[in-house]
Homo-oligomer: A and B are copies of this chain.
């Protein structure tokens, strides 16, 4: 069982050599049009499917790219993957998915056990606390290109694709200020992640520009989940001086915070402004709807895959860093 048609079968059937078949199938070199047509016809008739293992082995390249990321069960990442898929599919590449659950150990184990020899490249978004990214450097040293997206490794020189975290945050905070909020807190992501730091910096610089002093108590670093947002908000409400607006590192935390505010019967918008980052569909489901900085998730997926394919195509491709702008979407959570 499980015998597939091979080029040998086609060759035998047509009384020609395998190399001619191979050439005809790939439409390369000069093959007599007649011969090629015959081959193609026979291939179709026998329902020939190329064996990627064999091709990969012979050419030293599979058509697989690995995607390694923390989660897929959220809007942002699943949309990025869809974008990646789109480009990969066009280019005839398969994407092999690896989910780290945001665990550095798991990430390390995945990378170390990667079938690196049958992988043309890697697309990765690192897990929260994997400060040590040597494992990716090693992969690159072996000649397998890596492109980072969203959560990028700061000290590895390769192409990276991300949203404009700094300016997005800056703009977001300026918007809150323009709405009249004066005591703006920031519930941030885990420390150590580049994009988290950038959003933080955008927040800080926006305050600075408008001569608003920074209050340590109003900056809380924790996880990315909705639950973290809820508890961060509780913590803010405990402050001696309670803020009048919250800028969250992402929508899920913003939503968590809103849930807390609603429980405490604090009027969102009027008494306390809330601003997110992502444009998760949930931001239009919650009431009041959430003002947010929309991230170009789909394009980040597309772009990073396009870059990876370029790296794969030419080994000397010069690394590029692409920064995609966000888009502020004003909704009810910042209406006073």
Contact = CB atoms under 8 A, between A and B. Distances in A.
A49 B82 contact: no
Nearest to A143: B2
Interface stretch (A21-29, A90-98, A216-224, A320-328): A90-98
Chain A interface, DSSP helix/strand/loop, else mixed = mixed
Contacts of A75: 73
A200 interface: no
Interface stretch (A190-198, A242-250, A281-289): A281-289
A57 B64 contact: no
Contacts of A315: 1
Interface in A81-110: 81-82, 85, 89, 94-99, 110
Interface string A153-164: 000000000000
A78 to B, nearest CB: 4
Contacts of A52: 53, 62, 115, 117-118
Interface residues on A, range: 35 or more
Contacts of A132: none
Interface of A: 1-2, 4, 49-54, 56-57, 60, 62-64, 71-75, 78-79, 81-82, 85, 89, 94-99, 110, 114-118, 142-144, 226, 255, 259, 262, 281-282, 285-287, 315
25 contacts: A1-B143, A49-B117, A50-B115, A51-B115, A52-B115, A53-B53, A53-B54, A53-B62, A57-B57, A72-B82, A73-B78, A73-B79, A73-B82, A74-B78, A78-B78, A81-B97, A96-B97, A97-B97, A226-B281, A255-B285, A259-B285, A282-B282, A282-B285, A285-B286, A286-B286
